[in-house]
Structure 1
Amino acid sequence: MRLDSTHARTSKAEKLALIGALCVIVILLLPSVNMVKTLLIQSGFVSLHQDSKEKAMQLVSDVVRAPLNWAMADSDLPLLKIDIKYQDWLLLEKDRDTAFTHGQIPEQRSEVAGSVFFENKKLKATIRLQGDMLDHVAAFNRWSLRVELKQKQALFSARRFSLLSSNVRIHQGPMLFSETLKLAGFDIITPTYRPVKVVINGQNWGVMMFEQAFSQDMLATNNRTEGMIVRLDLHQQTASENLQLQRVLKPRVIQRNTVLKNASLSKQRQIALALLSDFLDGRRTASDVFDVKRLGQYLATVDVWGAWHALTWNNWRWYYNPHTAKLEPIQSDVAVTPAEHHWLMQPPSNDFLISKQMLADPRVKHAYNQALQTLKRQFSRGELLAKLSERQQRFIQRIHASAPLVNTFNLALLEKQLHCIENGYLDEPCQNIQPMDSALHRHMTSMVAQRSWDLVSGFTKSSGISEVTIRNPDSQSLEIKGISGVNKFDLQFPLENINAQLPVMLTAGSELTFSLPQELTQVEVTAGLSGKKKARFTFIENIQPLSFIPRPTQHLNLKKYPFIEVAEGHWKIKTGHWTIDDYIVSTDDIDLVIDAGTHLTFTEGSGLMIFGGVMLKGELEAPIVITRAENASYWAGISVFNKNSRLGSSITHTQLSHASSPKLGLWQPRGSAYFIGGKVNIDGLKISDNYSEDALNIINGDVTISRLSIRNALSDAFDCDFCTGSVSNSAFNDVGARSGGDGIDVSGSNLKISGTHFTNIRDKAISAGERSQLAVYDSQFSRVNFALVAKDDSTIVGSKLTVMDVNHYALMSYSKKPYFGPAKMDISEFTCKDVGCGQKMVSQIGSMLSVNDKQITPQPLSVKGLYQTVMKSDKPK
């Protein structure tokens, strides 16, 4: 008997696999192929191959493993139960049927009432179908649903979210992309994306993906100041005979009506839309419109993942940062795939017009290259791949209960892609990698912006003529419903003569001018395009959207101020008594140095904006004094943009008084001393009699503060958002002259506060919100409305604290914003010298408060009632 064989033997397992593969191929050719395909897709099958035989073999292999994947799935997931009345459910079914008839989900779709049950809570909601394409509703169940919770309730830090079948986002793909950003240290806004179990009207829909919607909730949970999210709509497109495709793109903000009802957000909206329009039209460079560092990081990560889908014009989302007046990218529908033949492509950012125009800016390209190097270092150490692999395994184990065919991504391809990008696809492993397949997406060859009517309209006043001109650049008619005016005392003018002529339809391409009373300083126009909801738009006298934005000046002549010595990389103000009567904006990367003993006075409206660091070198016996000029009510303060986090500002023995924040165009920051980013070291700064919302305002700063004194603050004394560091041996006195004034107000920050006194505080002495972590020691509070307040998933720990003369509550923990959740406070060695102190410590149900090792019993607390009464804000606008 021969032990070798003259022909290859086929084992039993191979025979079964071959038969199974043939069966699959036959099934895929049958008329019922759509049903089979849908079942496979919903179960998590993603083909990793191009060859039909390899596809079939993979399918058989995946099916064989599926029972084990299903049995080993992690079933410990949050459970959401949703109830929708039968008649309302029929409306959703009707929209689904319409989608199958027309090939996509209708733009105008039914929104129905429903209830969401989670952890013994019943949350009222509105629900509609989510998405555009049929993959969102193709299956028998697990349709994509958009849910908006009512009454300011939230789940997983979101009031608005979608429930999706995981195949719509290619399962673990968005998670792997966002984790790559986080592990690389790239601070890019990403929506929450997590698996949950869903039951609808008693029917088990299995595991679905909970995806946070683009909203203020998402901004807050990503450590961003309230702002807005901008996207693009297609206004028009044309194709020439040689297939050149031109698109007219219209920027708009998400949740427009909510934005327009907020005066501050309404101003920001105009800046954001005007900036993006200028970029699309080629009037502004990418580095002038976008946050260069974050944009470079996002584009680099997109290229490494081959996430071309994120670069299509309709998938871009940007956050408008109100501090920098720049747009930041948001992770949106990256659609990464585990299939090597789709994943590995030459950088898709080179193929899309928008990203090409971004990378044509040398500063963006430099940030992009730096980000690639950061990713390369992370991969070379092995830590990033190991952590991604661990998180991938944990994630797919959770979705295997409903999608047991889901495979893992071969994460080693990330390293290959990085290597090929760096080497220009010239060496052996990379030569077969091609540019993006043109069949995947039809690229536009040119683009222009369609501007909203309010961006090209305006309120002007000159030579005794006051008028508002409304222009309609749109292709639809504009209905002008009403106009009112406001004077400098905030008194309303109804303008009866003008309104007697309204409403009026302004046809496409036309304009209309109305004469106005001279005393008006702003005009409010209620209008909207035909068929759209009418809203109120505000126009301020002689101010266009981009009248002023915070940018370094290109050329600055300081001959008028010989006391400012200009050298390479810095300006120096030598010792003396000097007056400045301009609002001076520095060139880029400039450090301002002021010597000890210098006295600076500013006329009304004048101030400083520095793009670099400031070194105020006052001494105890020779402090720096900065204040208003003799005949000025106030000056415009100092704003500092520490663009490079390694650079910083240092302030010693400086007195700053009678300052307001700059009111320049529609960009209106809050602080009279205003620092954005970088390190801020303060020792001996005294701020008094400010006229701004915040006396000292620091954003994204690494702070070391000692001997800070703030007195007679109009509203908040020190506001620190997304800061880390310490405050010691400081004093806050007479805060909130107008009302709504906190001593220290922090959001998303981690601070240690020690040896600090708070006296005569009209609101909260210390307020910790939005997941802040505060340690407070050896401090005293007297004549305050509230001493320490922890809210919205913040934690305060402290000891050796003394309070007296507290009007309302000494210690409080509660939730104001449900998408953050309850708060915690643990105070030891606490002394309260007031009568009835036991009644001045309160914790809302769900939050925690411990005082001197004793738990304060949580109780129902009307937070809304608090903010409508004793905590009601009346901050200056």
Structure 2
Amino acid sequence: MRLDSIQAQTSKAEKLALIGAICIIAMLLLPSVNMVKTLLIQSGFVSLHQSGQAKAAQLASDIIEAPVNWALAETDIPVIKLDIKYQDWLLLEQDRNTALKKGQIQDQRAQVSGNVFFENQKFKASVRLQGDMLDHVASHNRWSLRVELKQKQALFSARRFSLLSSNVRIHQGPMLFAQTMRLAGFDIISPTYKPVRVILNGQDWGLMMFEQAFSQDMLATNNRTEGMIVRLDLYQQTASETQQLQRVLKPRVIQRNTILKNESLSKQRQIALALVNDFIDDKRIASDVFDAQRLGQYLATADVWGAWHALTWNNWRWYYNPHTAKLEPIQSDVAVTPAEHHWLMQPPSQSFLISKKMLEDPIVKRAYDAAISKLAAQFNSGTLLSKLGEYQADFMQQLHMSAPLVNAFDLDLLKTQVQCIVQGYLDTPCQNIMPMDPQLHRHMSSMVAQQSWDLVSELKHTEQASEFTIRNPGSQPLEIKGLTGVNSFELQFPLEDINAQMPFKLAQNAEISLVLPKELTQVKVTAGVTGQKKAQFTFIKDVQPLSFIPRPNPAADVKRYPFIEVSENTWKIRSGKWEIEDYIVTPADKNLIIDAGTHLRFTQGAGMMVFGKVTFQGSEQAPIVITRSEGVPYWAGITVFNHTNQTKSFVKHVQLSHASSPKLGLWQPRGSAYFIGGKVNIEGLSISDNYSEDALNIINGDVNITQLSIRNALSDAFDCDFCTGEVADSRFNDVGARSGGDGIDVSGSRLKISRTQFTNIRDKAISAGERSHLSVYDSQFKKINFALVAKDDSRIDGSRLAVEEVNHYALMSYSKKPYFGPGSMSVSEFTCSDTGCGQKVVTQIGSDLLVNGKQITPQPLSVKGLYQTVMKSDKPK
């Protein structure tokens, strides 16, 4: 018998019991269980398990690891200080207290003034609570705040943004989702989402997430043309006796009042809302409303991540692309989770009515299948998972500063998920993966669209007058404050007799018809439903929101033009002199071929829109001539939608003159020669005497341009947005018959420009904006207002450049749009023959300009003053 005692070993169960006891004691010492729960959530705890025992074990393990995570956390994180006056802060506190009492943040909430400080800069701002649910304000600090900077200032390329506790978005989830799309090559709009440290009124709130708001800033930083963002509101819902749920959904644009003040955006708004209405009401298939490729890619990514939350009706956000007149998905509140039991599910896109309808379209489904295959290949190769793992490790190291309990996502589950999708959940372990739990969301079985009043009202031509019919389909009275008429000369009619009866209210489901002067072509109406801010709406005679949108015409009939030879994949215009009197739109995926020596004349309003590609086969000896018919001022130009990004269009030795851009319904592009997407190869194109805003306009193109000549351009000569490639051996003469005329104007582009001459340019010879990078060599500039301008985080590198007769500045770098940042330029072997050339180079404080090895001293520069005077635009609409 041993007299010495043997030290007992503590079993795993006993350890868990001990940890549980410690946790219980801690809970008893704290004021409430809810406070403990909130503290754990704020500290990053996300349960990865279903059983209580496994949850407790995970919590214990996470708490043990937390001190190490906190000690090794990355602390070199941008610091944002926010100061709000005490009385204003009390208003935010009151909104929070009301939310805690009512269980939800109320729609009506205070918006107060504040000051934002970042890197020795001070920004005036307005601030309010952000979000709807209580997780945004549950803690004593780190409340979700929406911030809008004033005076067009920006922080991290955003004027409007939110500061959120990372748990609200499940920490690194949104970043991983966005990076998955980016690494896979899916061009989907995603908001900026990054960690920052927040100090509010001197109190350190620790690490929070900076999230860019849905705004024009976000579109610009995602390489999108100015447009708008559409979302859905719940107008009404009803449930049948069998609990079948029908929702009435009303599409609306974000920042409506700002958009209605812009004539171009106001027209786009009507198209965008009408398209979404038609999709909801089964009048249009998904691929006729949405960008099918991007939609398929987004849905595939959502399914692989189990991101069901992004597919609920209230979380959809779409960007309206004004070039294609289609809507693109935007990443919005994906709420992905690291918990395997919530992550692994059969495709959630099959559980939601909206996404199911989208995937019923075979074109969208093909894009979805292609995206799934691409993700599967990249996951199987290991490259995508490796990159995501690196991003996650870096991101978590920052999160651990204030949330040391944050766990990593097991990224191998992505591989499991995509493999199960590919093989249809037939094999083990895929057979154990269930469809989305219906308890997570109450699904609707049907939906209808609620039309906005301005989409169903109309201005029509009659033999004797113009008839304006106003309809109110809404449940609230429509208040009409006043009307103004406009004729074809853009002269306004006050309509005094009618306005004498204003304001008046139009009841629900009522309509009224007003007889107006026959010469009116437009009516501007100031109106709004009760309780909504009144705004001005524009109605164009005999034009409905979807009177025309750019879509292939499968029934295109060119029998009256026997010189157009039609085959399965081509339309060929044989050599000769021909006249066209219609605006012709091709079917999808057509190659329009024009033989050398062809002369085409178009009557006013006639033109061509090609869906596929063009092959214009002119030669120096026998160029293709495309111009107006005799006796008309202009024609409607040529628009080309290249079939894919790899589609190649060729334009060789073409003389194009007296063209305008098509003005078709509310879809009104800018260029007389207008290319969207694909690879655009131009050799020997001459454009002269155009009547459009841009003579040549290329969007999202890979360009190879030589011997381009543009002269007598009404406004800009060549506008290239989001392009890559080269322009060489070209000439730009007499540009800007009206002010605002640039020789080459680029946004978000990377171009090499060489051996090119610019003469008599009313505005900027070369203008680089919105994160462009230009290389300019062996080029000359004469009789210009501005030679080279780099702005908004753009860079120009140049060499062997000669300028003379510069009216204002030869070289400039500055920031016009603060959400991009400063410009930079470096030129060598630069010569200027003007007197006082040293005074004709300027860079704004914060920007950079290097000329022949000499750094130009930055100086204060009123960019607003420039654009109100010497750079003031008067472009035709």
TM-score range, shorter chain: over 0.9
Distance 1:429 1:180 in 2: 24
* Secondary structure of 2:251 counterpart: strand
Q: Distance in 2 between matches of 1:443 and 1:784?
A: 62
Q: Deviations over 1:569-596 (max 9, x none)?
A: 1100000000000000000000100000
- Where do residues 525-564 of structure 1 align in structure 2 (5 Å cutoff)? 525-564=525-564
Report the equivalent of 2:465: 465
CA distance in 2: counterparts of 1:776 and 1:868, whole angstroms: 28
RMSD across aligned positions (CA): 1.4
Secondary structure at 2:138 match in 1: coil
Structure 1 window deviating more from structure 2 (815-824 vs 10-19): it is 10-19
With structure 1 as the length reference, what TM-score do the two structures score?
0.98
Aligned-pair CA distance for 1:568: 1.3
Instruction: Give the match for residue 215 of structure 1.
Output: 215
* Change in CA separation of 1:28 and 1:470 when aligned onto 2, cut-off 3 Å: farther
- Is the aligned partner of 1:731 residue 2:711? no
TM-fit CA distance, 1:711? 0.4
Q: Secondary structure at the match of 1:613?
A: strand
Q: Secondary structure at the match of 2:434?
A: coil
Tell me the distance in 1 between the aligned counterparts of 2:108 and 2:543. Answer: 36
1:21 and 1:192 map into 2 onto residues whose CA distance is 40
Which digits, 9 at most, give the CA deviation of each residue in 1:110-153, with x for residues without a partner?
A: 00000000011110000000000000000010000000000010
Note the 1:74-113 alignment, pairs <5 A: 74-113=74-113
Amino acid in structure 1 at the alignment position of 2:630: E
Write the distance in 1 (CA, Å) between the matches of 2:58 and 2:23: 11
Verify: 1:485 aligned to 2:485, yes or no. yes
* Structure 2 match to 1:125: 125
Other-structure match for 1:628: 628
CA distance in 2, matches of 1:24, 1:506: 63
- Deviation of the 1:319 alpha carbon: 0.1
Report the alpha carbon displacement of residue 82 of structure 1 after superposing the two structures with TM. 0.5
Deviations 1:256-282 (A, max 9, x none): 000000000000000000000000000
Alpha-carbon distance between aligned partners in 2 of 1:355 and 1:405, rounded to the nearest angstrom? 35
- Amino acid in the other structure paired with 1:752: K
Q: What is the deviation of 1:465?
A: 2.8
- Given the alignment of the two structures, is residue 385 of structure 1 paired with residue 381 of structure 2, yes or no? no
Q: Is the 8 A contact 1:27 1:33 kept in 2?
A: no
Aligned to 1:404: 404
Alpha-carbon separation, structure 2, partners of 1:380 and 1:710: 50
Q: Do structure 1's residue 513 and structure 2's residue 513 form an aligned pair?
A: yes
CA distance in 2 between counterparts of 1:601 and 1:381 reads 55
Q: Are 1:676 and 2:676 an aligned pair?
A: yes
Q: Distance in 1 between matches of 2:787 and 2:654?
A: 28
- Paired position in structure 1 for 2:199: 199
The 1-side partners of 2:8 and 2:472 are apart by 78
Q: 1:52 to 1:628 in 2, by over 3 A?
A: same
Structure 1 CA distance for aligned equivalents of residues 727 and 549 of structure 2? 31
Task: Report what 1:798 is aligned to.
Answer: 798
Aligned partner of 2:819 in structure 1 is: 819
1:738 Cα shift? Answer: 1.1
Q: Following TM superposition, by how much is the alpha carbon of 1:184 offset from its aligned partner in structure 2, in angstroms?
A: 0.2
Relative distance call for 1:65 and 1:708 in structure 2 (3 A) is same
What is aligned with 1:19? 18
* Alignment partner, residue 602 of structure 2: 602
C-alpha displacement of 1:489:
1.1
Aligned-partner SS, 1:341: helix
AA matched with 1:133: M
Q: How far has the Cα of 1:645 moved from its partner?
A: 1.5
Report what 2:311 is aligned to.
311
In structure 1, C-alpha distance between the alignment counterparts of 2:557 and 2:170, rounded to whole Å: 56
Instruction: Quote the offset at 1:10 in angstroms.
Output: 4.6
> How is 1:203-602 mapped onto 2 (pairs within 5 angstroms)?
203-602=203-602
Name 2:637's counterpart in structure 1. 637
**1:308-328 deviation digits (Å, cap 9, x = unpaired):** 000000000000000000000
The code of the aligned residue for 1:583 comes to Y
Flag the 1:62–1:630 CA change in 2: closer, same or farther, 3 A.
Answer: same
Partners of 2:7 and 2:171 in 1: CA distance: 39
Q: Name the structure 2 match of 1:874.
A: 874
Pair 1:578–1:28, CA change in 2 (3 A): farther
Q: Which amino acid aligns with 2:148?
A: E
Deviates more, 1:421-430 or 1:315-324: 421-430
Stretch deviating more after TM superposition (513-522 or 11-20):
11-20
CA distance in 1, matches of 2:118, 2:361: 48
Give the Å deviation of 1:25: 6.2
Partner of 1:843: 843
Contact 1:196 1:208 survives alignment (8 Å): yes
Counterpart check, 1:719 vs 2:716: no
Give me the whole-angstrom Cα distance separating, in 1, the residues matched to 2:734 and 2:74.
56
Normalised TM-score (structure 2): 0.98
CA distance in 2, matches of 1:706, 1:164: 50
* Aligned counterpart, 2:692: 692
- Please say if residues 25 and 56 of structure 1, whose CA atoms lie closer than 8 Å, have aligned partners that are also in contact: no
Q: After TM superposition, give the deviation of residue 13 of structure 1 in Å.
A: 7.3
Residue 857 (structure 1) aligns with: 857
Task: Give the Å deviation of 1:514.
Answer: 1.0
Are the counterparts in 2 of residues 565 and 572 from structure 1 also a CA contact under 8 Å?
A: yes
Determine if contact 1:24/1:56 at 8 Å carries over to the other structure: no
Q: 1:740·1:873 contact (CA, 8 Å) conserved in 2?
A: yes
Q: What is the rounded CA distance, in whole Å, between the counterparts of 1:564 and 1:667 in structure 2?
A: 27
What residue is the counterpart of 1:39 in the other structure? Answer: 39
CA shift for structure 1 position 24: 3.6
2:803 is aligned with what amino acid?
Answer: V
1:11, distance to aligned residue in structure 2 (A) = 3.0
Question: Does the Cα contact within 8 Å between 1:778 and 1:801 map onto a contact in 2?
Answer: yes
Contact persistence 1:757–1:781 (CA under 8 A) = yes
Question: Shift in Å at residue 743 of structure 1?
Answer: 0.1
Which AA in structure 2 matches 1:139?
S
1:348-373 deviation line (CA, Å, top 9, x unaligned): 00000000000000000000000001
What secondary structure, in the 3-state scheme, does the structure 2 residue paired with 1:338 have?
coil
Deviations 1:157-190 (CA, angstroms, capped at 9, x unpaired): 0000000000000000000000000000000000
Residue type of the alignment partner of 1:19: L
Tell whether the 8 Å contact from 1:18 to 1:57 is kept in structure 2 after alignment: no
Alignment of 1:31-70 (within 5 A): 32-70=32-70
The count of residues paired between Structure 1 and Structure 2 equals 873
CA distance in 1 between partners of 2:564 and 2:422 (Å)? 46
Structure 2 residue matching 1:588: 3-state secondary structure? coil
Structure 1 residues not aligned, in runs of 5+: none
Runs of 4+ in 1 over 2 A off after TM superposition: 7-18, 21-31
Q: Match of 2:739, SS?
A: coil
Q: How far, CA to CA, are the matches of 1:27 and 1:468 in structure 2?
A: 71
Distance of aligned partners of 1:10 and 1:496 in 2 relative to their CA distance in 1, 3 Å threshold: farther
Superposed displacement of residue 26, structure 1: 7.7
Please name the residue that 2:760 is paired with.
760
Q: Secondary structure at the match of 1:415?
A: helix
Q: Which amino acid aligns with 1:448?
A: V
CA distance in structure 2 between the partners assigned to 1:351 and 1:235 by the alignment: 22
Q: CA deviation at 1:554?
A: 1.8
